[in-house]
Chains A and B, each alone.
Chain A
Amino acid sequence: MKKSFLLFICTFTVFLLLYFGKCIYSSHADLSKANSEISLLNTFPDAWQASFYPFLGPGNVLSMFQTKEHINDFFVFESIRHLRHSLDWNVKNLRAQDLLMNLARIEDEKGRVNIAQNIRAEFFSAKNAAQGIDYSSQKMSYLWAFIAIIFFLVWVVSTLLLIAKGFNKAGKVKTYPLFSFLILSFLSLCFWLLALHRVS
């Protein structure tokens, strides 16, 4: 493995992070557009944070609700929207259930009963979606379909290579290329199953 290639991968990772940052910023811009009554300046920090929760885990949202008093309804629902996304992504999320119930309780204490009821409704909806493993993200489905297609193509190429070069002069199949082919087939099968699981 060449050193320059490794350095390239590391730099690429950093650029990937920057790219994600840009995507998150774009999603923030969408959030701002969604509610024109709230000025960009006021919304920015909260919306920015809400965008990050799927990455950071939902535990942060609870503490934020406990520490902040000026949270508006817009932000409450944006946070829940992101949390739902987080739930879909990570079915085994440890504190997500407790979190949403706690959010509802906090809203009850604040006297905002309607919001509390909405949060509970969102919770059960998200829970049902998670139990049915409803991966709603369209982009992820495309990504998995792409991975499956790539592995299929690699598998086809490796099959052709095995046929063309995998035999010795006596006409017997060479052991190690066969091993590699079998492992590639096995891994391709796993990726196809995972892709099917995500896309279906």
Chain B
Amino acid sequence: MRIFAIALNTFKEAVRDKVLYSLIFFALLMISLGTLLDRITIGQTDKLIKDFGLASISIFGVMIAIFVGIGLVFKEIDKRTIYTIIAKPIHRWQFLIGKYCGLLLTLLVEVLVMAGGLVLMVRLSCTSGCDYSFWKAIVLIYVEISLITAVALLFSSFSTPFLSGIFTLSIYVIGHLTEDLKAFSVRFDEFGQRMVGLVYYVLPNLEWLNVKAMVVHGQPVSVHEILWRMSYGVSYSLGLLLTAMLIFQKREFK
């Protein structure tokens, strides 16, 4: 119940933020720009719109997750509202989970709005037999955004917003290139391979949550596969949250 109250409060706080509306506006603008690009394709308008739309949802979703996620805890400390909260009969982990859930709710609404925009664009562009299988990619984009939010929350539990932003953005970039690290490890000796292998397994494999190219090119992606990939994202996020809770539990507020 306490977690729910904090989550609801975080959600209300987030929807009052005008920055989010401007980000959504830019995202919808980018999605609609896809229709202008149909002149450079031949009979592939819907594919282009989906490609462009999914990329926009992903990029702007991650931007929102990073910008809001890094300030989630820091704002409370900076404004000293944290003292009034931790003085109440509430555990620190409950506070952190509540904040995370509130942000997830905000991101869910935003992803749904952007997905709605994309569906509208696809509906307007296709002449017959619209294909909406891109919902699978959107589900995994949301899981990816949730994971990035957990990363941002973990870093913001002990670092400044600036550093947290850099760290989270770096994790996002490296997370999409972990396969390259694995491929590169073959050039090392056994010890080097183990070390790079360790780095590979510690970092989140965000490409595992990326099925955009598959759905856009009409490749079959089963629901079972989506659930399997989702379970990876959710487990990783839970691990990050657990670490964030442990750090936040021991943190001293001056």
Residues of chain A touching chain B, judged by Cβ–Cβ distance below 8 Å, are: 1, 3, 6-7, 9-10, 13-14, 45, 48-49, 52, 56-57, 59-60, 63-64, 67-68, 92-95, 133, 175-176, 179-180, 183-184, 186-187, 189-191, 193-194, 196-198, 200
Contacts of B171 in A (CB 8 A): 187
Q: Evaluate contact between B213 and A57: CB separation under 8 angstroms.
A: yes
Contacts of B184 in A (CB 8 A): 193-194, 196-197
Q: Evaluate contact between A57 and B42: CB separation under 8 angstroms.
A: no
B235 interface contact, C-beta 8 A? no
Contacts of B71 in A (CB 8 A): 1
Q: Evaluate contact between B26 and A13: CB separation under 8 angstroms.
A: yes
B99 interface contact, C-beta 8 A? no
Residues of chain B touching chain A, judged by Cβ–Cβ distance below 8 Å, are: 18-19, 22-23, 26, 40-44, 47-48, 51, 59, 63, 67, 70-71, 155, 158-159, 161, 163, 165, 167, 170-171, 174, 177, 179-181, 183-184, 187, 196, 199, 203, 213-214, 216-219, 247
A36 to B91, CA, bound (A): 74
Smallest CB-CB A-B distances: 9 pairs: A197-B184, A10-B26, A187-B170, A176-B158, A59-B217, A60-B44, A190-B174, A64-B42, A180-B159
Q: How far is the CB of B248 from chain A (nearest CB, A)?
A: 12
Q: How far is the CB of A179 from chain B (nearest CB, A)?
A: 5
Q: How far is the CB of A136 from chain B (nearest CB, A)?
A: 16
Choice from A3, A9, A56, A197 contacting B63 with Cβ under 8 Å:
A9
- Of all chain A residues, which has the CB nearest B178? A190
A57 to B47, CA, bound (A): 10
Q: How far is the CB of A115 from chain B (nearest CB, A)?
A: 20
Q: How far is the CB of B194 from chain A (nearest CB, A)?
A: 14
Contacts of A93 in B (CB 8 A): 213
Contacts of A6 in B (CB 8 A): 19, 22-23, 67
